[in-house]
Structure 1
Amino acid sequence: MKTILVPIDHTAGAEHTLAYANKLAVRWPAEVVLLYCHPELDGAPAKAAALAEQELRLRSLVERLRYQQLTRQDGRRIQYRYRVLSGCLHDHAAAEAARCAADLVVMGLEHIDCGQQAAPGNHAATITGLVICPVLVVPPGRRSLPSRLVFTADFTTLNGSTLPRLSALEGAFPGPLELVQFYSPAERPRRRPLKQAVGRAAAQLTWPTIITHLLEDDAPLEGISEFCARHQAQLLIIAPASEAQLLRYFDSCYTTTRAYHTQIPVLVLRAVERQAQVACCDRCAERLEKEQKRAVLPDYHAVHWG
């Protein structure tokens, strides 16, 4: 069974986050692991009492939502686990995601961490940098599961681990998938390789219906928001190349003006970096050095010169 990790706070938006995760858990299907991190308290008795109280609040919330917004049969099918910890979410997120082998993290756009309110999306961006699995950022409000999906990225530089990780979520997000590659006016001579990169990405994904778009726009973030609005997208999938690029999606100028992409769930795919090989002895170090040189230098002997 799949596992959805849901970091949760006790704000009003938390109910919308959990309701969305519940619907995903029924569709996929998946187990839901609820993670609540309570600010540090002095004294072991006070800490134990506070954590026990928070777990009761979580269980009460779960029992209320599972039958309010789901049919009784679907509500009974979902399995829940509870993790109530002392401290900040960003200190526990990586360990808890690994502990439950999470396939997906679902969290609110306006999540509160360490008892502090940050700019919308900033806590989610931090968690995205800590966990390996994809992170789904859900804005406040009731919404149905998506049937129109848009995936934007620079497909020419996309990490090789990203597309298989997205394909693993096809069962949770069925429906037509639109791939969007933007290019600036200065990149017009590169239209052909850009189109080929989008085509290669489409061939590696498992969605039955994939539509590709190659669009000219010197402001890709504004462009994708407008594209999503025109096509009434219900889920935006992004694969940012850096944390700074990710934070731009949740910039205050977009959240304040209620840009379209901040009003729909955003699925963030983090590239899994390859671990560097470590030599155990001088002989292995020499072998690794030769392999790296072969990877950098062209193999002229393998070329058919005609």
Structure 2
Amino acid sequence: MKTILVPIDHTAAAEPTLAYANKLAVRWPAEVVLLYCHPESDGMAAAEKALDVQEQRLRGLVERLRYQQLTRQDGRRIQYRYRILSGCLHDYVQAEAARCAADLVVMGLEHIDCGKQAAPGNHAASITRLVTCPVLVVPPGRRALPARVVFAADFTALNTDILPRLSALEGAFPAPLDLVQFYSPAERPRRRQLKQALGKVGAQLTWLTTTPHLVEDDAPLEGVGEFCARQQAQLLIIAPNSETELLRYFDSCYTTTRAYHTQIPVLVLRAVERQPQVACCARCAERLEQEHTKALLPDYYAVHWA
């Protein structure tokens, strides 16, 4: 059973986030785990009462949205679990994602945590850093599931460990996938290398339809929005190499001007962190050391000399 973890608050942005998660849960299908973190109250009795009140509010929201934009039969099929905790979301989300074995986190672009409103995208970026599964950031407003998906990345430096996770999401987003690689005019001599990297990634994905695109643009972030607008994409997939790079997608200059890519859901893929191998004995330690040394040395026999 697939699992969607939905961190939620009681702001107006919570409704479109949960409505979008409901549609995904029906299509995939998946179970929805709702995670609500309430600011800590003074006294244990007051805290327990506050959590009970918030759980009832959350259950009321779920029952109200269960059948909105869905047929009654689909709404009944969705299974929900509730996690109501006292504290801040960023203190719990990592453990809760592991606890429910979340395949996907769906959260709003604008979210209040610890009673504070962060700048659009900042909170999502911090949550993405804490969990290992993909994070889907949903902007305010009602929207249908995507009929066109764009995956924008530097495919020459892409960690291919994320590709199986992306392939696993095809059932949730069964739409044509456009792979787009931006390059500057100075990188024209690398076009062949870029094209090969695009082809390699496309071959490893199990997506039904993938189309590679090489786009010359010296301002990739502006180019992403323009490309998504031309393709009429309803979902953008990105694989940033750092939290700073992720925050640039939601920079105030783009949210203020309502750039196209800030008006559609953004799926953030995080590279899988490799765990270091640990030797169980002296012989294994010697073997690992030899493998490490071999990896550092150039393999001259693999080079095709002219």
Q: Which residue in the other structure is 1:68 paired with?
A: 68
Deviation at 1:278, TM superposition (A): 3.2
CA distance in 2: counterparts of 1:94 and 1:163, whole angstroms:
22
Task: Return the alpha-carbon distance in structure 1 between the equivalents of residues 301 and 251 of structure 2.
Answer: 51
**What code does the residue aligned with 1:154 have?**
D
Q: Deviations over 1:218-245 (max 9, x none)?
A: 1111001111111111000000011110
Cα shift readout 1:50-74 (whole Å, capped 9, x = no counterpart): 1111111110000000023311100
Deviation at 1:28, TM superposition (A): 0.4
Once the two structures are superposed, what CA deviation does each residue of 1:175-213 show, in whole Å capped at 9, x if it has no partner?
Answer: 110000011111111100100000111111112211110
Task: Report whether the alignment pairs 1:42 with 2:51.
Answer: no
CA apart distance, 1:284: 4.0
Write out per-residue CA displacement over residues 17-50 of structure 1, whole angstroms, 9 at most, x where no aligned residue.
Answer: 0000000000000000000000111211111111
Aligned to 1:21: 21
Q: Does 1:83 align with 2:96?
A: no
Q: Classify 1:304/1:237 alpha carbon distance in 2 versus 1 (closer, same or farther; 3 Å).
A: closer
Determine the structure 2 residue equivalent to 1:180. Answer: 180
Query: What do you get for the CA RMSD once the two structures are aligned?
Result: 1.5
2:10 maps to a residue whose letter is: H
Counterparts of residues 106-185 of structure 1 (less than 5 Å) = 106-185=106-185
User: How many pairs were matched up?
Assistant: 306
Name the stretch that deviates more: 128-137 or 203-212.
203-212
The equivalent residue for 1:191 is 191
Relative to structure 1, the CA distance from residue 259 to residue 296 in structure 2 (aligned partners, 3 Å threshold; closer, same or farther) is same
SS where residue 93 of structure 1 aligns?
A: helix
Write the mapping of 1:88-103 to structure 2, written as runs, cut at 5 A: 88-103=88-103
Q: Against the structure 1 CA distance between its residues 241 and 305, is the aligned structure 2 distance closer, same or farther, given a 3 Å change threshold?
A: closer
Q: Quick one: which amino acid aligns to residue 194 of structure 2?
A: L
- Please report how far the alpha carbon of residue 300 of structure 1 lies from its aligned counterpart in structure 2 after TM superposition: 4.0
The superposition leaves residues 138-172 of structure 1 with CA deviations (integer Å, 9 ceiling, x where unpaired) of 00000001011000001111112111110000000
Alpha-carbon distance in structure 2 between the residues aligned to 1:302 and 1:167: 31
The 5 A counterparts of 1:221-260 are 221-260=221-260
Name the SS of the counterpart of 2:236 in structure 1.
strand
CA apart distance, 1:303: 6.6
Deviates more, 1:124-133 or 1:60-69: 60-69
CA separation of 1:304 and 1:134: change in aligned 2, threshold 3 A: closer
Q: Could you tell me which amino acid in structure 1 is paired with residue 80 of structure 2?
A: Y
Partner deviation per Cα, 1:252-287 (whole Å, 9 max, x = no partner): 111111110000000000001111223455554433
SS at match of 2:142: coil
SS in 1 for 2:112: coil
Q: Structure 1 191/287 Cα, relative in aligned 2: closer, same or farther at 3 Å?
A: same
Distance 1:243 1:77, change over 3 A: same
Identical columns (%):
82
C-alpha displacement at 1:304, in angstroms?
A: 8.1
Q: CA deviation at 1:115?
A: 0.8
Counterpart for residue 274 of structure 1: 274
CA distance in 2, matches of 1:79, 1:153: 34
User: Match for residue 219 of structure 1?
Assistant: 219
Unaligned 5+ runs, structure 1: none
C-alpha separation in 2, matches of 1:24 and 1:78: 10
User: 1:109-163 deviations in whole A, cap 9, x for unaligned?
Assistant: 0011111001101111100000010000000000001011000001111112111
- Partner Cα distance (2:303, 2:65) in 1: 64
List gaps (5 residues or longer) in structure 2: none
- 1:71-128 CA-to-partner distances (Å, cap 9, x unmatched) read 1100100000000001111110110000000000000000111110011011111000
CA distance in structure 2 between the partners assigned to 1:287 and 1:66 by the alignment: 56
Q: Which residue of 2 aligns with 1:200?
A: 200
Q: Which amino acid aligns with 1:113?
A: D
Q: Distance in 1 between matches of 2:130 and 2:23?
A: 25
Deviation for aligned residue 1:299: 3.5
